[in-house]
Amino acid sequence: MNTSLFDQLKIVADTFQQVKGGGLLLKGQTVSVALPGVPRRFLYHGWQSWSLTAWADVSWRMPVMRPARFHPMQTDPVHVREKKPHGSWFGAVEIENGGVVFLGSLGLDAHVVLERDSIRGTFDAEKGDWFLGMGKEEAIFKQYALLLKERLGGGRIPTPPRVWCSWYSLCTEISERSLVKILGDLDTRKWPVEVFQIDDGWQKSIGDWEPNEKFSLGMDGMAAWVKAADRVAGLWLAPLIAVPSSSLYRHHRDWLLHDRKGKLVPAGFNWGEPLYALDTTHPQALEWLAALMKKVRGWGYDYVKLDFLYAGALPGKRHLDLPREAAYRTGLKTIREALGGAYLLTCGAPIIPSVGLCDGMRIGPDVASYWDNPRDRDLLRNYTVPGTQNALRTSLNRLWLQPLLHTDPDAVYFRSVQNSLTQEQKSLLQDLALIAGFKATSDMPAWLTKEEEAALKAYLASQPSIQRTGAYSYRIDGREVDFSSHIALPPLPGFLTNIWGGIIGSLAQNTSLLKAFDRKGRQALKKTLKANPV
Ligand code: 9PG
């Protein structure tokens, strides 16, 4: 980075100084930088794993997603109605004649907005440090990651494990019986995966982290099966949310996050129920969290995927008057300590506040066995829901996190059963996971053809050489891969689509309808799995 470039900038901050390696360090609760040219594109950076992260033309505006009930699960609800281009913790602007101006916070609780001819960053709670970079995007992010690492820490484990995860084939329809069968198949067919990760579907309820009736051996019994097959046992939990049907909700309402008026803070809607958030500053809630993590370790799980973590950083009135993202970090620290040496994969996680406290992080929305969903894309204006294109788009823009943690772009598919992705789309996902360095799949041995299985095994075993050749292009073992034409943002919907979308969006606010959808989804899943036995 050329520091003399900074002479052209008009900076408003309490203080600023040069940083070794390039760029400037600014201090202030609000800082702003006048742009040295006309802005052309802005980098939207989403709050948590699933939130949209993408470069967009400055004339593009982030639409308000529908329905509002889902906002907490999709983006930072505090800034969801911001009309100007904006981003969580940082923003980057490409100005005319190339070149990027980047303003990124080195602390928590920060947001960046593009004004007409300047970029402005604000901390919610108190003043803090900012990094101002200018020049080439790649060099700027390298420097930003380095500065974040100095303050928040980095990862502990050199190589990410290869993972088999139950979610993208079985969803919640898992059982001890089906998992033991799959485990046996992986073992006899010698799939090169280190971790066997049990996802959503084993628990009594969201909040009651005990095995349900489909796991009669208990979760310790299940872990023993995994270990006997020479794999690390992995388990999914969403420890910072609770649903009304859980006993956690019924017995410990005071541990949940309330607003100033004493009402529970909504944290989204899933599993046919509204979600509520744990107050991670409440001493008893923290004790419960630590005990839960120790229990999971005691059962024999050395890899945990913790999901829906954004709930810990929602705005509300907490037991301790901490800024919301510092409160989340308190919870995550407790979790990290209680987990000891276990591998921690965070998911649905606020990005910067999780740095230094996890080993891996999901860096985009869920993949799916389809490319995209026109209803969600055009009518609900939502680019954060499960879908392969959404996952590719956001994950490709988050690879700069690699010096700080293992970047998990989610699972790859090799199967053609129960899959509408084309060969090209499957390859794009596979290549992204090679570049991200984190390989996971949910493909079931019994669903694959001989050729598909051989290709998947060879893929898992491969260690290709990778060079970045452009913003979204790479050379993988001499093969050129270019993602650029696959990840453009869809044009904003036209007038009639918008009206129709408004109607669908307001219907989708209705919880009875959402419950009915959930039931229908489960029935369809059961039917699919009947037709395609494990
Ligand atoms: C288990 C899953 C898997 C998956 C996670 C997370 O309603 N939603 O918008 C929504 C988005 C993502 C999501 C679930 C619901 O997926 O990312 O890998 O673990 O939970 O429930």
Q: What's the confidence (pLDDT) of residue 97?
A: 80
Q: Domain span at residue 216?
A: 163-484
The domain that contains 321 carries what CATH number? 3.20.20.70
The predicted pLDDT at position 1 comes to: 52
Q: Are residues 25 and 117 in the same domain?
A: yes
Domain boundary among 449, 464, 484: 484
Regarding whether 111 and 260 lie in a shared domain, the answer is no
DSSP string, 409-459: ---B----TT----HHHHHHHHHHHHHHT--EE---GGGS-HHHHHHHHHH
User: Before 161, cis peptide (omega within 30)?
Assistant: no
- How many distinct structural domains can be found in the chain? 2
Residues 146, 195, single domain; the answer is no
Mean pLDDT, to the nearest integer, of 192-210?
A: 98
- pTM comes to 0.98
What does the pLDDT average to over 431-438? 98
Q: Going by CA atoms, what residue is nearest to atom 21 of ligand 1?
A: 200
Q: How far apart are CA 242 and CA 263, in angstroms?
A: 15
Find the radius of gyration of the CA atoms of the chain.
23
> How large is the average pLDDT for residues 445-463?
98
**pLDDT above 60 (res 2):** no
What was the pLDDT predicted at 511? 93
**145: Cβ below 6 Å to ligand 1?**
no
Which of 332-336, 427-431, 527-531 is the least confident region?
A: 527-531
Tens of pLDDT, residues 64-112: 999 999 999 999 999 999 999 999 999 999 998 879 999 999 999 999 9
Domain co-membership, 147 together with 176: no
- Looking at this protein, which amino acid is placed at residue 217? L
Per-residue DSSP letter, 297? H
**Per residue in 271-329, pLDDT tens?**
999 999 999 999 999 999 999 999 999 999 999 999 999 999 999 999 999 999 999 99
Residues near 93 by Cβ (< 8 Å), separated by ≥ 6? Answer: 35, 39, 40, 41, 42, 43, 58, 100, 101, 102, 114, 119
Question: Do the Cβ atoms of 198 and 169 come closer than 8 Å?
Answer: no
b/e sequence 351-362, b meaning 16+ C-beta within 10 Å: bbbbbbbbbbbb
Extract the tokens encoding 489: 């943002």
| Ligand 1, atom 13: closest residue by C-alpha | 366
pLDDT score for 8: 74
Question: Are 169 and 49 in a shared domain?
Answer: no
147 and 168 part of one domain: no
- Range in 264-268, 362-366, 525-529 the model is least confident about: 525-529
* pLDDT > 70? residue 344: yes
Helix (H, G, I), strand (E, B) or coil at 379: helix
| 94 and 14 belong to one structural domain | yes
pLDDT band at 258 (very low <50, low <70, confident <90, very high): very high
Does 167 contact ligand 1 (Cβ within 6 A)?
yes
Q: SS3 for 31?
A: strand
Strand blocks (E) in 278-332: 303-306
Residues 128 and 231 in one domain: no
Establish if 510 belongs to a structural domain: no
Domain boundary, last residue among 119, 152, 185 = 152
Backbone dihedral region for residue 208 (phi beyond 0: left; psi -120 to 50: alpha; all else: beta): beta
Residues 132 and 194 in one domain: no
Boundary residue ending a domain (484, 503, 526): 484
The contacts of residue 439 (CB under 8 Å, 6+ apart) are 160, 162, 163, 412, 433, 459, 460
Q: By C-alpha distance, which of 360, 501, 506 is closest to 68?
A: 506
- Residue type at 206 in one-letter notation: I
Residue 11 has pLDDT above 80, yes or no: yes
What phi and psi values does residue 363 have, to the nearest 5 degrees?
Answer: -110, 10
Residue 8 falls inside a structural domain: yes
The pLDDT of residue 5 is: 66
For a mutational test of ligand 1's pocket, the pick from 164, 172, 270, 514, i.e. the residue with the most ligand atoms closer than 8 A to its C-beta, is: 270
Report, as an integer, the average pLDDT of 246-265: 98
As a whole number, the mean pLDDT across the chain is 96
385 C-beta closer than 6 A to ligand 1 = yes
In the predicted structure, residue 352 carries a pLDDT above the cut 60? yes
Is residue 513 assigned to a domain? Answer: no
